[in-house]
Amino acid sequence: MCGIFGLVGSDKNAASVVLEGLKCLEYRGYDSWGVGVASNGQIKIDKHSGKIGNSLLNLPEGSFAFGHTRWATHGKVTDINAHPHLDCSGKISVVHNGIIENYQQLKLELKNHRSISETDTEIFAHIVEDLRKKHSLKEAVRLGFLKLKGLSAFLVAEADSETLIAVKNGSPLVIGLGDKENLVASDAHSLIPLTRKIIFLEDGQLAEITKNKVRIFDVQTGRELELKIEEVTFKAIEAEKEDYPHFMLKEISEEPKVLENILLNLKESIIKFTDSLKNHSKVYLVASGSAYFAALAGSYFFSKIAEKELIPVAGSEFIYKEKFLDKNSLVVFLSQSGETIDIIEPLKKIKEKGIQTAALVNVFGSTLYRLVDEKIWLEAGPEIAVVSTKAMIAKLAVLGLSAFSFNSKYEAGEKLLSQTISNMKDILKQNLDEVVNFLHDKEHIYVIGRGISYPVSLEAALKLKEACYIHTEGFSGGELKHGAIALVDKGTPCIIFAPKDESFDSVISNAMEIKARGGIIIGLSEERNEVFDHFIEVKESGDLTAINNILISQLLAYKIAIKKGLDPDKPRNLAKSVTVK
Ligand code: F6R
């Protein structure tokens, strides 16, 4: 979480360039933001709580600037706690992504310093200030960083030397090499408008960045390392909403195009991926949040279409299953951002053991993209809305096609996906007003489905929680009566996914059980059924119908959020890239 952007160059307008960079990074955290600029040997700072929006900077001109968008961990969301933070002299400033786990203990050692904020970050400015008395800036940051526990990425700026030091362990930082200017940011996309020459800083590395030079060092030893410069080819971020009122709606509407791209470009990678699956007796699908529900759905695709068992595990739980891994295991990580700490941490651990790894990942050049042995780049394009939509759909399509490919029926999968795409185009035009009007003011909603519609229910519930702030629980239809049905009362809304597959009869019986207790049934199915109080028609696409049902859930969540006057692109308390544990 948190976005970092810095620039050392010759353009006197560096602060405005940094502000534009921060706007691209706001998906990483939008509690507060701040920009610092070097002026007359001091760092001047403009920082505020809230989103950047159309804010203008109140800063002097300067060619050396840096900034931050915050997702709060330590300290409330206030102007004072916003980054950058200064040392006592006002010459050294820091911005930070991560957590200093031993900050309370370190703070005790900094008694002679004046701390203003409640953050863990600020102490690092003071640590560097002390070390700077005897060391170069680079050495002061390196030695200071070695004192810290936890996963962090820092940018340290010194006004006098017009030098930025970037250092990381856990959270991403990317260096951009420009023409008489050098840059650093939390992701490559935000640098693309300025340069395509990039160095991905690895964990345990430090970069010394001046206007004309970038040098990289190993944090542990201080040894200088060779620069590994890459030329990135992907398109600049399409950060415009075009004619859409929100990124969430734009990204949902792009889903048919995303799947067409998969059909056009990913066949070879999918068949290669399927071969890897065949070569491993045990395959785990590891992911978090929506991506985990895609993994769960993938396991259903594989058991039905390919008759192969894949084991889905939530990223944060995977360390507890690790002991079952052996040389016949393949661990496939699924992620939009490719930076989620709950998957990056286990990935690093199992790589040390020589376990084979693969990924379905949307962000090119992300940590996941770079670390795995084999990857499928989903190419769904940048997802700006914090809630994941098109990347989720892309993962489902790749997993569905892989299941067909596993059974040597890739062409049948292609045909079905084409039909799905055509159905999705119709679904996007559907009017959902009746159900939106019924659900928007509800406090609790239950969602059920069986078989592959079980992960669909979990995902639908997550979308309603995060975009609409409605307490929504997803269950498998069969599990409901083992306890949770106690919550069903007169008027309790229940969404039922009832595709015409092997789950149909049983899930309709579950709907009857709910209705008998006063529940109101919102049926999502191809045909109306007498048990439904409200009905949304969902055109079916055989074994890939789950994709249509996920699309409908995303649209429902979007429309309910709008009806409630919420911003579905930036829901409260969330950030797009979850890089802290
Ligand atoms: C839900 C959502 C999150 C992410 C999760 C994993 O809409 O966006 O649940 O799916 O944080 O993120 P990635 O896919 O980037 O690893």
Rounded Cα distance, 116 and 125, in Å: 12
The half-sphere exposure of 360 on its side-chain side, counting CA atoms within 13 A, is 32
8 A C-beta contact, residue 153 and residue 172: yes
Question: Is 2 one of the annotated active-site residues of the chain?
Answer: yes
Question: Residue 84: is the preceding peptide bond cis (ω within 30°)?
Answer: yes
Minimum-distance ligand 1 atom for the alpha carbon of 386: 8
In the DSSP assignment, the letter for residue 62 is B
Q: Which two tokens stand for residue 353?
A: 């053991």
Residue 31 CA to ligand 1 centre (angstroms):
19
- pLDDT of the residue at 572: 82
Residue 475 CA to ligand 1 centre (angstroms):
20
> pLDDT tens, 347-395?
999 999 999 999 999 988 889 999 999 999 999 988 889 999 999 999 9
The answer on pLDDT for 235 being more than 70 is no
> pLDDT tens, 253-289?
999 999 999 999 999 999 999 999 999 999 999 999 9
> pLDDT tens, 435-471?
999 999 999 999 999 999 999 999 999 999 999 999 9
> pLDDT tens, 198-219?
999 999 999 999 999 999 999 9
Cβ atoms within 10 Å of 90's Cβ, excluding its own: 13
Average pLDDT, rounded, for the chain? 93
Rounded Cα distance, 7 and 101, in Å: 28
> In the structure, which protein residues have their CB atom closer than 6 angstroms to any atom of ligand 1?
288-291, 335-337, 340, 387-388, 462, 466, 578
Rounded Cα distance, 350 and 104, in Å: 32
Rounded Cα distance, 567 and 366, in Å: 27
Residue 344 CA to ligand 1 centre (angstroms):
13
As a whole number of Å, the end-to-end CA separation of the chain is 10
CA angle 497, 501, 502 (to 5 degrees): 105
Sheet holding 92-98, edge to edge: 85-86, 92-98, 152-158, 163-169, 205-209, 214-218, 224-225
Cα separations in angstroms, 138 against 106, 148, 185, 208, 364: 20, 16, 18, 7, 30
Query: Does pTM top 0.75 for this prediction?
Result: yes
Q: Does residue 314 sit in helix, strand or coil?
A: strand
Give mean pLDDT, residues 407-421: 97
Closest residue to atom 11 of ligand 1, CA basis: 289
Give mean pLDDT, residues 293-314: 97
Q: Which of 2, 24, 468, 494 is catalytic?
A: 2
Domains delineated in the chain: 3-232 (3.60.20.10), 237-427 (3.40.50.10490), 430-568 (3.40.50.10490)
Rounded Cα distance, 176 and 356, in Å: 31
Residue 257 CA to ligand 1 centre (angstroms):
21
Minimum-distance ligand 1 atom for the alpha carbon of 578: 11
